Amino acid sequence: MKIVVGSDHGGYELKEQLKKRLIEQGHDVLDVGCGGEPVDYPDIAVALSRVVLEGEVSFGILCCGTGIGISMAANKIKGIRAALCADCYSARMAKEHNNANVIAFGGRTVGVEHAWEMVCAYMNAEHLGGIHAARVAMIDAL
C-alpha cells in the first residue's frame, strides 16, 4: 500500500515510529515532513492533503502534539475526511462508517504502541458503503 505521512514537531517522533513500522511491513511511505524542526501544522496538513487528493496514495497519517490542530486544518480542505483517533474502535469506524482518507494522532497524547494498533485497526477495516456512503457523500457536498 502507498501511504503518506506528515507531522509538525509535536508529532514528529510518533510519525517517524509509524513510518518505520509501515516500511518494515513492506508499505511504500511518502513523507511530507517535518524533519523535527518547528513548523506550522497547517502547512503540513495542506501538503499531505494535496498528495491524498491527487490519488497517489491509499490514505494519509497526520500527527501533531494533540492531533487536533492538524486534523482541523486538513478538514478545511474539500475532499479530505480526517479522523482524529484516540481508540481502536474509532479508528475502525473511521474507515467502516466515515471512509476517512486521513487519520490523525497526537504525538503527546498517545503512545507508539497504541497509535500503531489504531493504524492497524483502520488499515484492516473496509468501508461498509450503503447508508454510510450516502452520509459520507453528504459530508463531501457540504
Catalytic residues, which ones? Answer: 64, 97
Determine contact, residues 114/85, Cβ cutoff 8 Å.
no
Q: How far apart are CA 125 and CA 137, in angstroms?
A: 19
Determine contact, residues 112/17, Cβ cutoff 8 Å.
yes
Q: Give the cell for residue 75.
A: 478538514
Shortest approach of ligand RB5 to residue 115 CB, angstroms?
Answer: 15
3-state SS class at 122: helix
Compare residues 118 and 123 and give the one whose CB is closer to ligand RB5: 118
Determine contact, residues 34/129, Cβ cutoff 8 Å.
no
Determine contact, residues 3/58, Cβ cutoff 8 Å.
yes
Out of 4, 34, 41, 60, the only residue in the binding site for ligand RB5 (CB under 6 A) is 41
Compare residues 104 and 123 and give the one whose CB is closer to ligand RB5: 104
* Interface characters, 51-70, with ligand RB5 (x: CB under 6 A): -------------xxx-xx-
Shortest approach of ligand RB5 to residue 83 CB, angstroms?
Answer: 15
- Vertex 61, ends 79 and 52: CA angle to 5°? 35
Shortest approach of ligand RB5 to residue 72 CB, angstroms?
Answer: 7
Compare residues 68 and 120 and give the one whose CB is closer to ligand RB5: 68
Compare residues 60 and 65 and give the one whose CB is closer to ligand RB5: 65
In the complex, which residues of this chain contact ligand RB5 (CB under 6 A)?
A: 8, 10, 41, 64-66, 68-69
